[in-house]
Amino acid sequence: MPVIAIFTKFDALITTAFGELRKQGVTWADAKDKALFHAMEKLKVDYIDQLYKSKFKPKKHVWLRGK
């Protein structure tokens, strides 16, 4: 049986990443520049990598970015 996982509210993860960077002492401007990359890393490590470690691994994944 195929499983489809959909992650929504990525913008909230970017906001969280920004806050984490600021708590680490990163300047506001640098945190703003790095928040997207940091959020992408969190999504990969915390969610996508975990899916690929599961018993029923996905064959692939797709990232769709919208407004």
Domain spans in the chain, listed from the N-terminal domain onward: 31-57
pTM of the model: 0.79
Neighbours of 17 (CB within 10 A): 21
Q: What value does the mean pLDDT take over residues 2-6?
A: 77
Distance between CA atoms of 13 and 57, rounded to whole angstroms?
A: 24
**Tokens at 14, concatenated:** 């970017």
Q: Report pLDDT for 67.
A: 60
Helix axes 28-43, 10-23, angle to 10 degrees: 130
Query: In this predicted model, what pLDDT tens digit does every residue of 31-59 receive, in sequence order?
Result: 999 999 999 999 999 999 998 998 888 88
- 67 or 7: whose pLDDT is higher? 7
Q: For 17-58, what is the HEC assignment?
A: HHHHHHHCCCCHHHHHHHHHHHHHHHHHHHHHHHHHCCCCCC
